[in-house]
Structure 1
Amino acid sequence: MLRMIESTLESPWSLHVIMGYGVLPKVAHYYSRLLIMRVTANDVGVFRTLLTQRPEFREQFRAATFDGVAGNPLTILGNSIPQLDRTGCEYIFEEED
């Protein structure tokens, strides 16, 4: 699956279609749980390029990799993404007399 994502990085339309299937969280989740020696620099580069091109998927990537293997480069990359601050989303409703 990662090779398929890598091949679509050059085509914005193909990348849009592939990401529409919800592939990123599943692939990121899988790769973040691999042993450190099984993840190559090329694998990390594919995810880094993808997140640079499509920043709207950063939160999904962070959520998919937050509890990966300690020291795994993808887990480190996911943990380096700051959590979105959702200020202003919670309201207190008061009944007016």
Structure 2
Amino acid sequence: METLHVELQDIGGTAWWVRILTTLSSQSGSMQYRFVGRVADEVRYSSSTFMSPTPVSPIPPEEEWAPGLNRSLEELVSDIRHDGWTQTGRGSEPWSLTFERN
């Protein structure tokens, strides 16, 4: 049985050079995010990206000020389900999802 967890990923946080490119190419004060589906430490799925204003405090983005968040999550979940995964859990955030597959 495999277990997959959906996570929110700050694109700029993946590597130092990506942070620089994201900062230079983004709107002032914005961060670029995507959702990923991980099995252990391996990213198996990733969604399209969306922008969110850089938070003053560490609060997660919401669709109201991060347009495209819901579409990106729906895209990822659709890809995961298409490959035979079944949702088995949900956390406190809308994207905190767990899937399993034999």
Bigger CA radius of gyration: 1
TM score, norm. by length of structure 2:
0.27
TM score, norm. by length of structure 1:
0.28
Specify which structure has the higher proportion of strand: 2
Specify which structure has the higher proportion of helix: 1
